[in-house]
Each structure stands twice: as C-alpha cells, then as structure tokens.
C-alpha cells in the first residue's frame, strides 16, 4: 500500500535542501464546503505527514493561495456562493499558480463535468464517495511527477542547487509577499576567486568538484528559508529573507571563513581550497529584481577590486 508519507523519503535525498518555498513536507489545500469531509481528510493527510490548510469556499481559497505556496489543491465543484469552477479561472490567470497540481473531488459523476475540468486544467478527478487510500495514492503519484519535473526544470544538474530560472520565479513571488507583509530581505552575489586558474592548473573535472563542494558548503551553512541558486558558471546568488544587509554580511563573513579554512574538494589525494568575493544588497521598496541583482553584483565587483576574498555591501 502506498502512503503519502513515502513522498518525504524521496525528498530527503534532495541535495538542495530547503528553499524559499520552505518546508520539505508537502503542503496541501483542501477546498470543500463539506466540513466533515474536510476534517476527516485533514486528519488523515496530517497523519501521512502533510501540512494541510482548508477553505470552505472559493473566496477563502483565493486568499490562502495568494498568501501561501501549495504543492497541491483538491477542489470540490458544488460549493456556495461560487462553484469550484470559479477557482479554475483564478488559477489560470496567475502564472505562479497556473501549473499547481489540482485534483477535483466531486460528488458529480458526470461525463461533462469530468471533461470540462480536465480541459480547464485539472490533473485528476475523483468522485465522492471515495476511499482515502485511493485519493492518497493519486496525490502521491501527482506530487511525485511534479517533483521530478521541477527537479529537471529548476535544479542545476552539476551542483544540485536551484538554477537561475527557479531563482527568478521564486524571488518575484517573495517580493510580492514582502510588499504586503514588509520585512527585510537581502541578496548575496558570490563569485569564486581566480577560478579559471583551478581549471587551467588541475583540469575542468577538478573545477567541477570545486563548484559542487562550494555549493554544498553554502547550502549546509544557510537556513532552510534561504534561497541558494547557481546564477552562472562560478557565480551563486543567495536570497536571505528576514535579514538586513548587516546580518547578511555577518553570515557571509562566517561562511567565507569556513570556506577559506576547509578544503572544498578532494581529487586523487589532493585537496583544493578556494576563496570567493561576495556583494550584499538589501532590497528596498520599488526596486526591481534586476536592479537588486545589479546592486549586489556591483558590490561583488568592488570586492574583486579591493583584492578579492572579502564581502562588500
């Protein structure tokens, strides 16, 4: 028997660790006007290690979807005052919600409803009454496929950390959130010092091992809410939520000390150490992502100018 818990086992091998999306657990939203059903499903899914939110109508579902990031939604069709169909429109119009995995959970066992839901973007359709085990298996399958797809689309294959595409998508959402609930957030732009020399002296393979080693060292020294991404060749970016520029500089200073003191890679009995230069910039209202990244990049360039192996803000 497959349980939703097994999803967690896959994720623990995830080299990238947590993200700005946060938790390793899957977060589900149940949209249904049937309180008894919601309570039952919430209890079962929580036992299967999911984080579950409930909405009794379309309006409150929209509010939750704006404020949180979900891995999957179950949607009832017959609800008041708006039917479940109204939520499809809302999801379709938001690029960040357009591909959110969705299972219709409806008492309507009607061909037209089923076809219409799939056309509108549903991934699955389960009719009530249903067995919990079947729904859980369908949720599991859908989450697994989504995770695999995300892994391919949003991870850097060499280091396992997020790629720039994911960073751009995620940071846009995070800034939207901060405009509503103000909090400091800082960005770090990292560039390895004299990396070309490592490649030229020891070969590209050692260069790759160094990139993997640095990505790992950065990841394990960051908080699960921080977002680390490989930005380009030997460049990484980190978004640190709830962190002022001073705090971000202190964090990076301590990480740079660790990088300096520990070999980041080993190959054929030889160990390899590096340093990096980093620029830090705090986000301010009205700043675009491009402006923010450019500011951190400029600070990184200053760090190079001042002799490398340092953090500049």
**Contacting positions for Mg ion (CB under 5 A):** 33, 76, 78-79, 191-192, 195, 234
Residue 121 near ligand GH3 by CB under 6 A: no
Contact 92, 98 (CB under 8 A): yes
Decide whether 78 or 126 has the Cβ nearer to Mg ion: 78
- Beta-carbon contacts of 12 under 8 Å, excluding residues fewer than 6 positions away, are 24
Residue 223 near ligand GH3 by CB under 6 A: no
Among 23, 96, 151, 199, contact with ligand GH3 (rule: CB under 6 A)? 199
Among 17, 207, 241, 279, contact with ligand GH3 (rule: CB under 6 A)? 207
Quick one: angle between helices 204-220 and 245-261, nearest 10? 130
Q: Which three-class secondary structure state does DSSP give residue 196?
A: helix
Least gap, CB of 276 to ligand GH3 (angstroms): 9
Residue 193 near ligand GH3 by CB under 6 A: yes
Nearest CA-CA partner of 99 in 138, 126, 72, 76:
72
Decide whether 127 or 151 has the Cβ nearer to Mg ion: 127
Decide whether 79 or 299 has the Cβ nearer to Mg ion: 79
Decide whether 50 or 190 has the Cβ nearer to Mg ion: 190
Among 70, 166, 189, 195, contact with ligand GH3 (rule: CB under 6 A)? 195
The DSSP letter of residue 162 is B
Q: In which element (H, E) is residue 298 found?
A: helix 289-305
State in Å, rounded, how far the first CA of the chain is from the last one: 54
Binding partner at 304 among Mg ion, ligand GH3, none, C-beta below 5 to 8 Å by kind: ligand GH3
- Interacting positions 127-156 with ligand GH3 (CB under 6 A): none
How far apart (Å, rounded) are the C-alpha atoms in residues 116 and 47?
33
């Amino acid at each position: 028997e497959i349980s939703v818990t097994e999803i967690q086992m896959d994720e623990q091998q995830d080299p990238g660790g947590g993200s700005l999306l946060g938790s390793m657990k899957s977060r589900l939203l149940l949209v249904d006007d049937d309180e008894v059903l919601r309570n039952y499903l919430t209890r079962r899914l929580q036992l299967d290690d999911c984080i579950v939110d409930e909405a009794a109508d379309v309006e409150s579902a929209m509010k939750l979807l704006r404020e949180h990031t979900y891995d999957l939604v179950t949607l009832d069709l017959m609800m008041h005052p708006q039917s479940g169909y109204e939520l499809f429109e809302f999801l379709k119009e938001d690029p960040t919600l357009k591909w959110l995995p969705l299972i219709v959970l409806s008492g309507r066992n009607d061909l037209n409803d089923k076809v219409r839901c799939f056309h509108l973007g549903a991934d699955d359709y389960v009719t009530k009454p249903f067995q919990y085990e079947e729904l859980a298996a369908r949720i599991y399958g859908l989450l697994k496929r989504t995770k695999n797809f995300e892994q391919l689309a949003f991870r850097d294959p060499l280091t396992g950390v997020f790629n720039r595409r994911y960073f751009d998508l995620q940071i846009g959402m995070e800034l939207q959130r901060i405009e509503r609930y103000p909090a400091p957030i800082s960005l770090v732009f990292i560039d390895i010092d004299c990396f070309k020399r490592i490649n030229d002296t020891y070969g590209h393979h050692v260069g790759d091992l160094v990139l993997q080693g640095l990505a790992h060292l950065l990841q394990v020294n960051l908080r699960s809410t921080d977002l680390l991404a490989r930005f380009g060749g030997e460049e990484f970016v980190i978004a640190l939520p709830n962190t002022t520029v001073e705090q971000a500089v202190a964090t990076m200073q301590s990480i740079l000390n660790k990088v300096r003191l520990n070999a980041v890679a080993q190959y054929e009995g030889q160990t390899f150490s590096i340093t990096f230069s980093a620029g830090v910039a705090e986000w301010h209202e009205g700043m675009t992502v491009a402006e923010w990244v450019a500011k951190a990049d400029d600070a990184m360039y200053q760090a190079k100018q001042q002799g490398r192996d340092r953090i500049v803000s």
